């Protein structure tokens, strides 16, 4: 279709008339480029991560963060769901003066816990994907 459209535009705008054979050759070259590009594609398989519901009568607070090293900014994302998976609350928060990915994840974790407290949830599971933050919290846990 692209080759036919190109031939039409050349006739309309440039006065150049292409033969059917020239259009077919253009089409074949285009297909060759597409096939060559497919061979160069790198396919990454991302593991499928499924959200797991919290225990009955609990809410689950999930948090995540993204960090931009160039301007020391980060973004926290927090979502709270009940034990049926219903979204109760969600928020995205932008931060400045964050100097590391660890600090960004720690900030998101703190905000997740703080939000659970502010909203009055008493039975809470907090889940994030930063193993470093989770380990640090477990080390300093007060029983």
Q: How far apart are CA 104 and CA 110, in angstroms?
A: 10
Region 72-83: mean pLDDT is: 93
At residue 119, the 3 state secondary structure works out as coil
Question: What is each CA distance from 122 to 79, 116, 128, 136, in whole angstroms?
Answer: 16, 8, 19, 23
Domain around 74:
59-139
Question: What is each CA distance from 128 to 74, 78, 125, 133, in whole angstroms?
Answer: 15, 9, 10, 9
pLDDT at position 143, please? Answer: 45
Same domain, 67 and 134: yes
pLDDT digits (tens, 9 = 90+) for 19-72: 777 777 777 777 777 676 666 666 666 666 677 889 999 999 999 998 888 999
Is the model's pLDDT at 15 over the cut of 60?
Answer: yes
Q: Tell whether 51 is covered by a domain.
A: no
Residue 105 zone, left/alpha/beta (φ > 0; ψ -120 to 50; rest): alpha
pLDDT at position 58, please? Answer: 96
Is the model's pLDDT at 142 over the cut of 60?
Answer: no
Same domain, 87 and 26: no
Same domain, 128 and 99: yes
pLDDT digits (tens, 9 = 90+) for 84-137: 999 999 999 999 999 988 899 889 999 999 999 999 999 999 998 777 666 766
Is the model's pLDDT at 141 over the cut of 60?
Answer: no
Contacts for 44 with CB less than 8 Å, ≥ 6 apart: none
Q: How far apart are CA 88 and CA 126, in angstroms?
A: 14
Q: Tell whether 45 is covered by a domain.
A: no
Is the model's pLDDT at 2 over the cut of 90?
Answer: no
- Domain count of the fold of the chain: 2
pLDDT at position 137, please? Answer: 65
Q: How far apart are CA 76 and CA 109, in angstroms?
A: 9
Average pLDDT, whole number, for the chain?
81
pLDDT at position 3, please? Answer: 61
pLDDT at position 38, please? Answer: 61
Same domain, 65 and 127: yes
Q: How far apart are CA 81 and CA 104, in angstroms?
A: 22
């Amino acid at each position: 279709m692209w080759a036919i459209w190109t031939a039409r535009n050349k006739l309309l705008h440039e006065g150049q008339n292409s033969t059917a054979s020239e259009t077919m050759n253009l089409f074949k070259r285009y297909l060759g480029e597409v096939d060559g590009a497919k061979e160069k594609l790198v396919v990454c398989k991302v593991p499928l991560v499924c959200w797991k519901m919290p225990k009955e009568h609990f809410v689950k607070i999930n948090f995540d963060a993204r960090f931009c090293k160039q301007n020391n900014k980060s973004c926290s994302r927090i979502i709270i769901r009940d034990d049926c998976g219903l979204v109760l609350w969600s928020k995205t928060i932008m931060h400045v003066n964050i100097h590391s990915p660890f600090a960004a994840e720690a900030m998101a974790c703190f905000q997740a816990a703080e939000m659970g407290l502010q909203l009055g949830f008493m039975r809470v599971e907090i889940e994030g994907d930063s193993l470093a933050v989770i380990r640090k919290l477990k080390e300093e846990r007060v029983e």
